[in-house]
Amino acid sequence: MSRLEDIAIKVVEREAGLSGNADALLYEIADLLACLVEQGRPGAIDLRSLPLTPADRAYLSAQLGEGEVRAEVQALGTSEVRETSYRGVWWITHRDATGELCAELIEVTPLPAILATDAGEMADALERLQARLSAATGDER
């Protein structure tokens, strides 16, 4: 049997303020992306439910980088959707009408749900557009 003193210990120094949770999240994001690619199953991580320091958030943001797509949705406050440099990995923030952060997520999906148009809303849009065209041309379709 080994003695406690015989167990090798490796001390890893981190940048000030980093907890190590951001690195763990990167592995989780990679697993979610693998599930999306291999099984077509999307996933999400609620960043506000995790013990992340400001340094962790900055590190995670820097590691994920910026992609080509950024969108802002105005509905009961402002939601910002930004693609990271990894296709299918999105950083999403939701703020209320006063600008306070309500939710912050990493979504791993081809298209975040907040950007997808509801089928009922599309049917309503079609109906309104057809009525407009009909009124403008006098055509009763």
**Cα gap 128→125, rounded to integer Å:** 5
Does 7 have pLDDT greater than 60?
Answer: yes
Does 12 have pLDDT greater than 70?
Answer: no
CATH 3.40.50.300 is right for the domain spanning 21-110: no
Residue whose structure tokens are 């997520």: 105
3-state secondary structure of 17: coil
The torsion region of residue 3 among left (phi > 0), alpha (psi -120 to 50) and beta comes to beta
* Domain locations along the chain: 21-110
Query: Does the model's pTM come out above 0.85?
Result: no
Contact call for residues 14 and 22 (beta carbons, < 8 A) = no
Of residues 50, 55, 54, 48, the one with CA closest to residue 102: 48
Amino acid at 109: T
For position 2, what pLDDT does the model report?
A: 64
Does 13 have pLDDT greater than 80?
Answer: no
Task: Give pLDDT tens digits for 69-126.
Answer: 999 999 889 999 999 999 999 999 999 999 999 999 999 999 999 999 989 999 999 9
